[in-house]
Amino acid sequence: MSSARQKVGTVCNDRVQLTDAERATIDALNDASVAGARAPEGYDALAESRKSLAKETREALWTAIPDLEERGRAQVERIRPELEKLKGTGWPVGPDRPFAGRGIVAAPLGTHGLGDLGDLLRPPVPFLTQPPNVGELWWAETNWFVTAPDNTLHVDIDHDPYRIWGHIGYTGDNLLNGTVGIVMTFILGPERMPRTDRTLFDVRPELRPGGWVSGWTGLYHPIWHADDKWSKCWGFLGATLTLSSGEWLAGDSQHYNRFFLEDVNPVGQASVSEFFGWGPILTFTANMADLRQRGVSIILRTELRYDFQLEGESDIWFRNRSGSASESVAAFDNALRFRCWPGSVPV
């Protein structure tokens, strides 16, 4: 299979006209996401050590067992047909992220108690007429990015919900680093900012993927079939609030392992449910009157991202339904889906 290649795409809201400052800030934020797959720090040195040890082990075994390769090939031919029937399946893996079941994450007790109490104790302010659509974060654009071999992973952001689907069946000896993700950007322009003297605010977006991510590694045995076979996947959810002038206001993120199949005997299997919701609470302080006067916008950026590694005989699927590779074929109508509701800035 060919090496991974990067592709990116964008869909914009024609009814939202960005200022030069907004455009520059959004581009700077996106650069970090679409830069390519994120290989773990120190991986290169670890990989070289593993390959060196594996080579020395095989050379020692060939000396002791002259027909090692022939016996290994015979085993593969005998076992592979039955194992192929299981390809794409896996026992469901429970979530290892600190989510409250599969619902929205609850805010820690006491996190915002003082801020809410401060608002209650503050003297009442005169009634102010609010602008139309006050506090609404309007969708401005959506970006997608893929680093994978050609014609393997696909992203659709022209329909609701957004979709990620595809399958990579890899057989290369070199490590394949890949990634796929979607970024949504929302904007609160100065003309819709609340007219208030409060300075403490919170925005509560909701990010909700839905589908399955599955992994597979081929036949492995530390003596007979000792070539590395890896299928690993990490997930990322993020939400940040930034001013169009570049200042960071608030942010939260979740990093979590989806599966980690590394030289599993006899084969590696994983199928992970991505049906859950994440609702961060982004708390920040700001002077709305000052932002209006300076013409500064508030930018909300949300991101769903998967990074993965494949090596040797290995596979990864992004689908809406789990099951064997023949029963559940990744496609537009069998895709992992993603929706995001931005919330609003309270009056």
pLDDT per position as a tens digit, 210-247: 999 999 999 888 877 778 899 999 999 999 999 999 99
Residue 160, pLDDT score: 93
- Tell me, what amino acid is at 224? W
Report the C-alpha gap between 205 and 184 in whole angstroms. Answer: 11
Which carries the bigger pLDDT value, residue 231 or residue 38?
A: 231
Report the C-alpha gap between 95 and 60 in whole angstroms. Answer: 41
Coil vs helix vs strand at 177: strand
Report the C-alpha gap between 272 and 93 in whole angstroms. Answer: 5
Tell me the pLDDT band of 98, cut-offs 50, 70 and 90. very low
Parallel, antiparallel, or unpaired for β 298-311 and 176-188?
antiparallel
CB 167 within 8 A of CB 14: no
Cα 204 to Cα 120, 126, 277, 300, 346, distances in angstroms: 20, 27, 12, 11, 10
Report the C-alpha gap between 72 and 51 in whole angstroms. Answer: 19
Q: What Rg, from alpha-carbon coordinates, does the chain have?
A: 25
Percent of the chain's residues with pLDDT above 90:
64
Tokens of 78: 């005998």
CB 305 within 8 A of CB 179: yes
Parallel, antiparallel, or unpaired for β 92-93 and 268-273?
parallel
Contacting residues for 84 by C-beta, under 8 A, at least 6 apart: none
Q: Omega before 161 cis (within 30°)?
A: yes
Cα 1 to Cα 20, 176, 188, 312, distances in angstroms: 42, 10, 45, 11
CB 210 within 8 A of CB 320: yes
Domain boundaries, the chain: 5-14+44-120+132-341
Q: pLDDT (tens digit, 9 = 90+) per residue, 166-187? A: 999 999 989 999 999 999 999 9
Reply yes or no on whether the pLDDT at 127 is more than 80. no
Residue 119, pLDDT score: 47
Task: Name the helix (H) or strand (E) containing 67.
Answer: none
- Which among 256, 166, 163 is positioned nearest to 209, based on CA atoms? 163
Query: Where do we find the tokens 């650069």?
Result: 31
Residue 213, pLDDT score: 97
Report the C-alpha gap between 247 and 263 in whole angstroms. Answer: 45
Q: pLDDT (tens digit, 9 = 90+) per residue, 277-320? A: 999 999 999 999 999 999 999 999 999 999 999 999 999 999 99
Residue 242, pLDDT score: 97
pTM of the predicted structure, to 2 decimals: 0.79
Report the C-alpha gap between 163 and 322 in whole angstroms. Answer: 16
Percent of the chain's residues with pLDDT above 70:
76
Alpha-helical (H) ranges within the chain are: 20-33, 43-64, 68-86, 113-121, 288-294
Q: Omega before 342 cis (within 30°)?
A: no
- Which among 194, 204, 205, 202 is positioned nearest to 287, based on CA atoms? 194
Report the C-alpha gap between 179 and 164 in whole angstroms. Answer: 11
